[in-house]
Structure 1
Amino acid sequence: MLRKEWKGLVHNKLLLVVVVAIILIPTIYTTLFLGSMWDPYGNLDKLPVAVVNEDRAVSYNDRELNVGKELTEKLRDEESLCFNFVDAETAKRGLRNGTYYMMITIPEDFSANAATVMDEKPEKMELAYQTNPGTNYIASKMSETAMEKVKNSVAEEVTKTYTQAVFDQIAEAGDGMQEAADGSGDLKEGMDKVSEGNRTITDNLETLADSSLTFREGSDTLRVGLKTYVDGVSTVNSGAGQLDSGAAELKDGVTAAKSGVSELSDGTGALVSGAWELKDGTGALHKGLSELDGKVPVLKEGVDQLVQGTGALADGAVQLEAGGTSLKVGVSNADAAMAELCRGLEVLRQSTDTLPDAAEQIHVGAEALAQGTKDLETGSGNLKAGIGQVKAGMEAVNGEGGANSEQLADGVLALNQGLEQLYAMLTAGGSGTPASGEAATVQTDVDVSEAKQALDVLYGLADELQGKAGELETSADGIGSVNAVSSDGLAAALEAAVASGDIELVAQAANQAVAAAQENENAVNESNSRLENVAALLRESGTALRGTGEAVSASADGALNALDRVKGQTVTTVETSQASDADTQAMEQVVTAVGKLRDSSQTLADKTAAYTGGVKAVTGNMAALENGALALYEGAGQAKAGAEQLEAGTAELDQKSPLLKAGIGQAAAGGEQFRTEAMQPLLYGSDSLLKGITSVSTGAGQVNDGAGTLQGKVPELEAGISQLDQGAGSLDQGAGTLADGAARLDDGAKELLQGSGQLFDGAAELKDGTGSLVSGTRELTANNSTLLDGASQLSQGAGAIQEGAGKLRDGSAELGDGISQAADGSRTLSSSLQDGAKQVKDTKSTDDTVEMFAAPVETSETMITTVENNGHAMAPYMMSVGLWVGCIAFSLMYPLTKYKGKLKSGFSWWLSKASVLYTIAVLQAVAMILLLHVFDGFNPAEMGRTIGFACLASVAFMSVMYFFTNFIGKVGSFLMLVFMVVQLAGSVGTYPLEISGSFVPYLHEWVPFTYSVEAFRSTISGGESIRGPVVFMIILCAVFTLLTLIEFQLRAGKIKAGKHILADWLEEKGLA
């Protein structure tokens, strides 16, 4: 059974293809599904995210803070996601339609909130983001994970900014404390000086108290001195006024000098610019003269050519003068022709008055023509039908291929030959006498008479047929000659005449159209009449031809029979009878009759020839007549179409004739205007042109003479150019010297301009000072009386000063004690501030310090196993599913319950099937791993163990399928498909058991996928031992293999005993 099973599989090509396809099912499941999600986390840099930056920079600690800009610049270098920096509207639209999976918005107060960290109520920085899970839930979750990284990055950067700001403030505080310490030292020194000053004040107050008496006495002396001072102030005021006037004059002069110096500076600047331009120009001149010197030979050649050309010019001038004379004559002729044209236009304009009436007549004639062509078309159609009927009749009379006419001609020819022979015999046998002369004579007379009658009938019929044939031929020729005049050319000529606007052509075309219409109408009538005659003639001829044919045939037969009888009887009479007078006379009559009959037969032969010729002519003319009728029918259609076009054209002519009349009037007026405004000036101008041409001719001679003189001066020009070249070199050197001097002059002018500005400022200040001086002296003069009054009051206050000086001395002593205490406190403050400033300065920040404040914690990950990507992580799950589905497919497609050959035993039956299905199980496992490696890059840590366990799992799964399919048929396969869904839920192939559904722990330990997924994960990542899953798969395979063997043994026993089995019932129900 085993050999037959494999032989049946190998020879069943279709089943072999199915088996190969089943082997590839796990590969298809894994490679396609895993390939679609092989490394999504490695491709997050392709996940599009929109970033909208609305942040505005702010000032923080005297520097710009723009966190939004810094964040976007950092995100541009990030590869965690595909960041797209767009506006808000584009981002929202892209989030809705799936272009972007997340939208990050940096609000406009992002930096402003960052700057509130030291405020009483700081504002948190809000980084808004939006996702659209409905587009793709996994993508939104990935985006949220990446958003946490962005958030931490922003927090780290902002913390760095804060830390740097704090350290900057600490540094500033240290500087402030140092300044305070320095200030406290200054304060200490100041207190010492204050103490010392206080002692000095105390001593001076002692002196003041003692000197106050002396001051009082000195106040009187002051009053006398002030009187002298007042007088001097008046004198100073007068001198200050004079000084102010002079300062004003000085300022005006300096202003004028400054304006002149400015103009000088502008002039020197222009001089420098012009000097350099002069130098550039002299350089270019020198270069150009050098090039010109090199071009003198070319100039010389050109002058020679010019001399030759001026000679030709002189000759051409003579020809031009002759042409001018011809032009004048032509213009005169053109003017005369234009005058003639104007007269013709005027005549044409007068002729157009009758154009509308003529157009109306043409239109009426065209309508009649159109109606006539319609009748012509109808009649020509009838003619075609009649000719067809006549042709059919002629063919009936003439026979097929002219057989009847040929037969008639042959019969007449035979009659003529027989009569010739009879006549020869009669004339040759005249000496003999017939045996029974009376009987012979009677019979001969009777036969001759019949022959003569037949000959007369033939003669008459031949003449009648010949006449009718001639008449028919004449009628056919007449019909063929009738043809309507084509109106195509007339319509085209009429349209061309209307388009040209020539009234004579229009009138001529209209007359031709009317005549053609009348002619076509007559032709149509004549054609209709002749068609009717021809039709009647053809009908009559057809009838006559049929009767004539029958008569001729009968007469010819009778005549021939009679002649035969006459011939026989005459011969007999000649041979048997004896000559007698009566017989001789009778014989003579016979001879005479035969002679007449012979002559008549000859005439009949000629007429018959004419008849057959006529028939042939009529038959031949029938084709021409038929072609002529067809041409007439087609010509009638063309004539109808042309008549309709002519009718439309005449209608258009009738409508546009007023426009034509108006156009001709305008053309006549324009022609006269053109002759007056254009031709007359042209005529006058031709005279001037002729005079100018004469002048040109004279000038051409002078040019020719001048060209000769120029040719002689070329050597002098060459020498002059050389001298100019040398002078240009010297001029170029002088221009350089001039440019240098102008530059120095310009520098001096600028210094002079600057000095003049300073002089102007000084003069202005002097003027302001003298003005202030005048004002001051005036105030001094005005305050003289007040000063004198104050001196008196000073004298009075001197006494009060003496009294207050004593009090100040006492207070100064008390102030000295307080200053001593303050000095001690300042010493303590200075020492403390100095120590604090030193400690703050010793506190310094580095980049590492700032980094520590911003990110004090780092994570360190150690992976005890390695999974390259998401494809390797999902492979255990999908490989289990692929193998399970492959086993289900094989159990459905392969006939597991059918055996080959004779049923030996249940074990043999099981073995024959098991050898195939376990082989397929191993092959599909090996193919799945290897092709997954080839197409998706699957590289497990332990490739051999992965392949081995895949084969074991596939065999175990196939054992389960083998049992259930063999036991309950398709129902078993269906149950295994449902059980696969249960395994997908309970095997935790995607999420951990702890976060899966509440029912999953109850399934987890009882489904085969749990162990296959665990084993595959271990072999792929290089993890723990797979001993447990291997033992489970072996037990699973052994249990279901044993159950299958038992089921096969029981089934084989029932089959051998002839009992019904469950498979039979399932097959009846279509479930096997």
Structure 2
Amino acid sequence: MKNKLFLKEFSAIIKNKKLLIPIIAVMFIPILYSGMFLWAFWDPYDHLDDLPVAIVNEDAGAAFEGNDLHLGDDLVDKLKESKDFNFQFVDKEEAYKDLNDQQYYMLVEIPKDFSKNATTLLEDNPEKMNLIYVPNESYNFLSAQIGGTAVEKIKASLSEKVTETYAETMFDKVGELADGIGQASDGAFQISEGAADLKVGSNTLHEKLALLADKSIEFNNGVSSARKGSEEMSEGAKSLSEGLGKLAEGQSELSKASDQLESGSQKLSAGVTQTKEGIVIVKEKLPVMIDGTEQLENGSKNLSSSLEQWQTEAQKLSGGTALLEQKLQGFISQLPDGSPEKAELQTVLAQLKAGSAQLAESAGKLSAGGAELSKKMGQLNEGQLQLQQGINQLAQGASELEAGSQQLVQGHKDFSAGMQTFAQKFGEAQAGADRLSGGAADLSGGLGKLTQGSAAFADGTKQLEDGAGKVAEGNTQIYEGSSELANKLADGAENASSVNASDKTYNMMANPVEIDNEKITEVPNYGTGFAPYFLSLGLFVGALLLSIVFPLREPAGVPRSGFSWFASKFGILAGIGVIQGLIAAMILLLGLGLEVQSVPLFLLFTIITSLTFIALIQFFVTVMGDPGRFVAIIILILQLTTSAGTFPLELIPNALQPISSYLPMTYSVSGLKAVISSGNFDFMWENTVILLSFAALFIAGTFVYFTAMHKKRFAAAAGQAD
């Protein structure tokens, strides 16, 4: 008796072909809906070779490192061998016309300057190679997206080939750089040898200048002594003049002391003669000394000129060092960061730069010292000329003094002959004494100037000695720095020449990274990936259409209770739901070849999903009638967007994301993904429990409705039947 109403419902379906046929048709709705979609999109990438794509090659080619470069032709040859798309190689005008006429889904144009731009890498403004991709998105948007991915692959392949060419050229340049560094090393060794010679010469120069400084001090002391003697001589001449004056006054006493005066005059004559001879010797030696000073002045000028040239060469050396550093920067930047070779090379360049700068500075100081020395030697020469004039005057006065003294001697001899002759000769002696006093004063003045010049000369030689010491020290640093530079350049040349590149090396630089796609769970095709979504969608649509062809409220007879009414309706719907779920699952397994992790669990979860949707549709349509179907359609629309069957949930609008957790299709899609692809059966059972919770909730609601309606419509009839 308990199954009587259910049998009546079943019998009514069997006897009524208008009801039976639609129900049978509805059983196939899920597979028609999901199966057709999955069949159509099972593996669309397997048919890309049927997708027409236009290729336009306008590349004119270019020359690179003496070789012809035709990247456009190389790309066309590669695409002709490719089966990725149905490539059609046409001219530009025809291609764009057919693209607008929707004969092609996309167009790839290789511009005229494609190969030329590849050769501009080392220019100041390198140009990138442009590959023009023109999709016809209005024809089919997805094909444009697929084409974009394909163009990226073409770009990557071209980039790899061009980078290999660049790498090969770079390694060739490294070889040339190694040769250049070797030559630079040889030149550095030559510089080092020259610096060694320069070091020896500068040390010798410093020693000789030190000796010159010592001798100049002695010369200055001698000139000071001569000046002091000349001053004393001037005072003596003055005293002589005064004495002669007194002698005139003491003429009366002269007769008495004539014998003594004769003896004194003879001694005076001898002394004057000796003085004259000394002055003559000084006069004869002065031109030699003046010539020596002039030669020394000319030598100092030559030295100053040479030092200026040396300063110029030192500045050139500093500039050359900067140029060398600039030339080596390209090589240094290519060395690995943190490498000892790079650090050592940078240190050597810095030391060379500092040493050359210090050499230029020291050369400037030495050049200034040489100019100062030349100036002081000129002053010394002028003082010597003035001294020569004074000596000439002194010699003239000495001659006159000698003549006067001789006359005095003669006068003394003739003194006895008469005082008159003595008086006449005494006047001449007085005049000679005056001239002697003047000459002595001039000699003292000349020697004073000579003293000043010799002091300046001593200061100049001291400065020259100091400058020569700094030059010697700088030359020592140049020698040490150039030696280290030569050794480091030799090491760099050896390291650079040891780089041996091959095709594998070029390929490594062009494509240094390879991606290992290690999938946790592999989905073989689009059909397998979309099966959870379309199967859930088909089962929901099937349940919704079932509510149209099968009466969900009206019983086939008078129900004994609300439970019997509910059981008769739900029993029929559940049976149909199980059947349509099995049909859909089996056709996917056997017809489309869907691979799942567990066939029994896949069938079980499909049945549970179908029953959950049946319970949901039954509740809303039974309780609300046609408005309930509208509510079910709204739920379907929300589930289409929030179930994460196509795009991840995080990619849909934030306002829709919270709705996902309240809709059953979210859990049916997740559970089917687990049982089909991932094999995470624990996660499948979690979703099964949630779906059964949804089903229990809607079943309870439908049961409550039938119980309430039974009390209103059939309670009296059920009592009479009892």
Same fold (TM over 0.5): yes
Residue 1029, structure 1, aligned to residue 687, structure 2: yes
Cα distance in 2 between the residues matched to 1:124 and 1:891: 63
The DSSP-based 3-state class of the residue aligned with 1:897 is coil
- Could you tell me how far 1:101 is from its partner in structure 2? 2.1
Residue 714 (structure 2) aligned to one of 1049, 1056, 1059: 1056
The DSSP-based 3-state class of the residue aligned with 1:153 is helix
Residue 842, structure 1, aligned to residue 468, structure 2: no
Cα distance in 2 between the residues matched to 1:176 and 1:931: 75
Residue 62 (structure 1) aligned to one of 66, 77, 80: 66
Question: What do residues 389-416 of structure 1 show as CA deviations (whole Å, max 9, x unaligned)?
Answer: xxxxxxxxxxxxxxxxxxxxxxxxxxxx
Cα distance in 1 between the residues matched to 2:607 and 2:16: 26
Amino acid of the residue matched to residue 29 of structure 1? Y
Amino acid of the residue matched to residue 160 of structure 1? E
- Could you tell me how far 1:1058 is from its partner in structure 2? 6.9
Instruction: Give the direction of change, closer, same or farther, for the CA distance of 1:973–1:58 in structure 2 (3 Å limit).
Output: same
Instruction: Give the direction of change, closer, same or farther, for the CA distance of 1:833–1:886 in structure 2 (3 Å limit).
Output: closer
Q: Where is the helix percentage greater, Structure 1 or Structure 2?
A: 1
The DSSP-based 3-state class of the residue aligned with 1:1046 is helix
- Could you tell me how far 1:861 is from its partner in structure 2? 2.1
- Could you tell me how far 1:831 is from its partner in structure 2? 8.3
Alignment-derived partner of residue 1041 in structure 1: 699
Instruction: Give the direction of change, closer, same or farther, for the CA distance of 1:885–1:179 in structure 2 (3 Å limit).
Output: same
Cα distance in 1 between the residues matched to 2:549 and 2:582: 21
Alignment check: 8 A CA contact 1:956 1:1036 kept: yes
Which of structures 1 and 2 has the larger relative contact order (alpha carbons within 8 angstroms, sep 6+)?
Answer: 1
Residue 90, structure 1, aligned to residue 99, structure 2: no
Instruction: Give the direction of change, closer, same or farther, for the CA distance of 1:95–1:935 in structure 2 (3 Å limit).
Output: farther
Residue 930, structure 1, aligned to residue 607, structure 2: no
Residue 907, structure 1, aligned to residue 586, structure 2: no
Residue 124 (structure 2) aligned to one of 120, 127, 133: 120
Alignment check: 8 A CA contact 2:175 2:497 kept: yes
Residue 44 (structure 2) aligned to one of 34, 40, 46: 40
Q: Normalized against structure 1, the TM-score is what?
A: 0.38
Structure 1 segments unaligned to the other structure (5+ residues): 189-817, 819-823, 1060-1072
Alignment-derived partner of residue 999 in structure 1: 655
Alignment check: 8 A CA contact 2:184 2:489 kept: yes
Cα distance in 2 between the residues matched to 1:91 and 1:962: 57
Alignment check: 8 A CA contact 1:30 1:932 kept: no
Residue 875, structure 1, aligned to residue 515, structure 2: no
Alignment check: 8 A CA contact 1:133 1:140 kept: yes
Amino acid of the residue matched to residue 1028 of structure 1? E
Cα distance in 2 between the residues matched to 1:63 and 1:73: 19
Residue 104, structure 1, aligned to residue 108, structure 2: yes
Alignment-derived partner of residue 27 in structure 1: 31
Cα distance in 1 between the residues matched to 2:696 and 2:555: 23
The DSSP-based 3-state class of the residue aligned with 1:1005 is helix
Cα distance in 1 between the residues matched to 2:557 and 2:651: 56
Amino acid of the residue matched to residue 1007 of structure 1? L
Amino acid of the residue matched to residue 968 of structure 1? M
Question: What do residues 907-935 of structure 1 show as CA deviations (whole Å, max 9, x unaligned)?
Answer: 22222222211000000011001112333
Cα distance in 2 between the residues matched to 1:15 and 1:167: 83
Alignment-derived partner of residue 275 in structure 1: none
Residue 855, structure 1, aligned to residue 511, structure 2: yes
Question: What do residues 515-554 of structure 1 show as CA deviations (whole Å, max 9, x unaligned)?
Answer: xxxxxxxxxxxxxxxxxxxxxxxxxxxxxxxxxxxxxxxx
- Could you tell me how far 1:26 is from its partner in structure 2? 0.1
Question: What do residues 6-45 of structure 1 show as CA deviations (whole Å, max 9, x unaligned)?
Answer: 2222222332221110100000001111111111234334
- Could you tell me how far 1:183 is from its partner in structure 2? 10
Residue 865 (structure 1) aligned to one of 496, 518, 521: 521
Percentage identity across paired residues of the two chains: 35
Alignment-derived partner of residue 159 in structure 2: 155
Cα distance in 1 between the residues matched to 2:497 and 2:188: 18
Alignment check: 8 A CA contact 2:167 2:509 kept: yes
- Could you tell me how far 1:1016 is from its partner in structure 2? 1.0
Alignment-derived partner of residue 737 in structure 1: none
Cα distance in 1 between the residues matched to 2:184 and 2:45: 59
- Could you tell me how far 1:181 is from its partner in structure 2? 8.0
Instruction: Give the direction of change, closer, same or farther, for the CA distance of 1:163–1:891 in structure 2 (3 Å limit).
Output: same
Alignment check: 8 A CA contact 1:42 1:869 kept: no
Question: What do residues 746-803 of structure 1 show as CA deviations (whole Å, max 9, x unaligned)?
Answer: xxxxxxxxxxxxxxxxxxxxxxxxxxxxxxxxxxxxxxxxxxxxxxxxxxxxxxxxxx
Cα distance in 1 between the residues matched to 2:699 and 2:625: 16
Alignment check: 8 A CA contact 1:867 1:1020 kept: no
Amino acid of the residue matched to residue 97 of structure 1? D
Alignment-derived partner of residue 607 in structure 2: 951
Instruction: Give the direction of change, closer, same or farther, for the CA distance of 1:867–1:830 in structure 2 (3 Å limit).
Output: closer
- Could you tell me how far 1:176 is from its partner in structure 2? 5.7
Amino acid of the residue matched to residue 502 of structure 2? T
The DSSP-based 3-state class of the residue aligned with 1:1026 is helix
- Could you tell me how far 1:892 is from its partner in structure 2? 1.0
- Could you tell me how far 1:1023 is from its partner in structure 2? 4.2
Alignment check: 8 A CA contact 1:877 1:989 kept: yes
Cα distance in 2 between the residues matched to 1:129 and 1:13: 59
Alignment check: 8 A CA contact 1:81 1:146 kept: no
| Root-mean-square deviation (Å) | 3.0
Alignment-derived partner of residue 636 in structure 2: 980
Alignment check: 8 A CA contact 1:184 1:830 kept: yes
Cα distance in 2 between the residues matched to 1:122 and 1:1040: 69
The DSSP-based 3-state class of the residue aligned with 1:978 is helix
Alignment check: 8 A CA contact 2:34 2:534 kept: yes
The DSSP-based 3-state class of the residue aligned with 1:84 is strand
Instruction: Give the direction of change, closer, same or farther, for the CA distance of 1:91–1:1023 in structure 2 (3 Å limit).
Output: farther
Aligned runs of 1:391-540 on 2, under 5 Å? none
Residue 970 (structure 1) aligned to one of 609, 626, 632: 626
Instruction: Give the direction of change, closer, same or farther, for the CA distance of 1:883–1:103 in structure 2 (3 Å limit).
Output: same
- Could you tell me how far 1:998 is from its partner in structure 2? 2.7
- Could you tell me how far 1:999 is from its partner in structure 2? 1.8
The DSSP-based 3-state class of the residue aligned with 2:53 is strand
The DSSP-based 3-state class of the residue aligned with 2:662 is coil
Alignment-derived partner of residue 919 in structure 1: 575
The DSSP-based 3-state class of the residue aligned with 1:990 is coil
Cα distance in 2 between the residues matched to 1:875 and 1:132: 30
Cα distance in 2 between the residues matched to 1:830 and 1:889: 92
Cα distance in 2 between the residues matched to 1:861 and 1:167: 32
- Could you tell me how far 1:882 is from its partner in structure 2? 0.6
Instruction: Give the direction of change, closer, same or farther, for the CA distance of 1:836–1:906 in structure 2 (3 Å limit).
Output: closer
Amino acid of the residue matched to residue 882 of structure 1? G
- Could you tell me how far 1:959 is from its partner in structure 2? 1.0
Alignment-derived partner of residue 140 in structure 2: 136
Question: What do residues 248-299 of structure 1 show as CA deviations (whole Å, max 9, x unaligned)?
Answer: xxxxxxxxxxxxxxxxxxxxxxxxxxxxxxxxxxxxxxxxxxxxxxxxxxxx
The DSSP-based 3-state class of the residue aligned with 1:859 is coil
Alignment check: 8 A CA contact 1:942 1:1022 kept: no
Cα distance in 2 between the residues matched to 1:140 and 1:927: 37
Residue 885, structure 1, aligned to residue 580, structure 2: no
Question: What do residues 411-442 of structure 1 show as CA deviations (whole Å, max 9, x unaligned)?
Answer: xxxxxxxxxxxxxxxxxxxxxxxxxxxxxxxx
Residue 1012 (structure 1) aligned to one of 657, 661, 668: 668
Instruction: Give the direction of change, closer, same or farther, for the CA distance of 1:875–1:831 in structure 2 (3 Å limit).
Output: closer
Cα distance in 1 between the residues matched to 2:610 and 2:70: 62
Residue 550 (structure 2) aligned to one of 871, 889, 894: 894
Cα distance in 2 between the residues matched to 1:114 and 1:899: 81
Q: Normalized against structure 2, the TM-score is what?
A: 0.55
